[in-house]
Amino acid sequence: MGKFHLEMVGDSAPILDRIIEAYGFSSKIMLAQHLEMASSSLAGRYKRDIFPADLAVRCVAETGVSLEWLATGNGKPFDYEKLDNLKIPNFQLKNGQLIPSDHIMFDKVIFPNQSPLPSEPISIQDGNSYFIIDKKYNDVFDGKWLIEIDGKNSIRELTRMPMQRVRVSGIGMAFDCEISDIKIHGRVITIIENQ
């Protein structure tokens, strides 16, 4: 990190907004809850014209975000090569639809050592489970996949069969079809289940 000019007096709102973004939160109240402060206290911080140094330092320590980006908005928020975390787009699966739901941070150690990190990861939250999907794949083989059938998305077990066919199972009755009959969005590489 090189030198950069830091203005200690001035509008604190952009800095606080970047802190929210660094944590992956979607609202000020989520930040207030994380910091265990009253939402009125956070609202007061937005009105002050002073650099929120205590919150910035805590955010840098907890997320690994770049201090330069956090303080000035210049540069990139994260150097993903150095971080042990992956910031992944998260979607909720509701009634067959993928609803965008901000980002989620995962420690890279949750991924199997023998496998490379996902190239195009997304997270799908279905009930109490998170499915980490790699949208980039070379071929379809046996395992869990995020697929779309008639405009409805779901996580299903695919079993490869001869003649470019697959058996689709996992929800309801299993059926066989051509690979081209379904839209395959990506392969499930990790499942995190909350009890």
pLDDT bracket for residue 160 (50, 70, 90): very high
Q: Mapping DSSP to helix (H, G, I), strand (E, B) and coil, where does residue 145 land? A: strand
Are residue 94 and residue 34 in the same domain, yes or no? no
Are residue 181 and residue 154 in the same domain, yes or no? yes
Alpha-carbon distances, residue 68 vs 7, 33, 72, 76, 195 (angstroms): 12, 25, 6, 9, 39
- Whole-number Å distance between alpha carbons of 48 and 11: 7
Let me know if residue 93 belongs to a domain: yes
Count other C-beta atoms under 10 Å from residue 115's C-beta: 10
Say what the pLDDT of residue 9 is. 64
CATH of the domain at 163: 2.10.109.10
Surface-to-core class of residue 185, CB atoms within 10 Å of its CB (0-12 exposed, 13-18 middle, 19+ buried)? middle
pLDDT bracket for residue 62 (50, 70, 90): confident
Say what the pLDDT of residue 126 is. 92
Let me know if residue 82 belongs to a domain: no
- Whole-number Å distance between alpha carbons of 165 and 145: 15
How many structural domains comprise the chain?
2
Say what the pLDDT of residue 75 is. 83
Are residue 169 and residue 138 in the same domain, yes or no? yes
Are residue 62 and residue 128 in the same domain, yes or no? no
- Final residue before a domain boundary, out of 43, 72, 101: 72
Say what the pLDDT of residue 10 is. 74
Q: Model pTM? A: 0.59
Let me know if residue 6 belongs to a domain: no
Are residue 31 and residue 112 in the same domain, yes or no? no
- For residue 44, give its domain range: 13-72
- Final residue before a domain boundary, out of 72, 99, 116: 72
Name which residue leads in pLDDT, 4 or 89.
89
SS3 content of the chain, % helix, strand, coil (to 5): 25, 35, 35
Answer yes or no: are the C-beta atoms of 193 and 128 closer than 8 Å: yes
pLDDT bracket for residue 105 (50, 70, 90): confident
Are residue 95 and residue 186 in the same domain, yes or no? yes
CATH of the domain at 26: 1.10.260.40
How large is the average pLDDT for residues 7-18?
Answer: 82
Are residue 63 and residue 109 in the same domain, yes or no? no
Question: What tens digit of pLDDT does each residue of 36-57 get?
Answer: 999 999 999 999 888 898 999 9
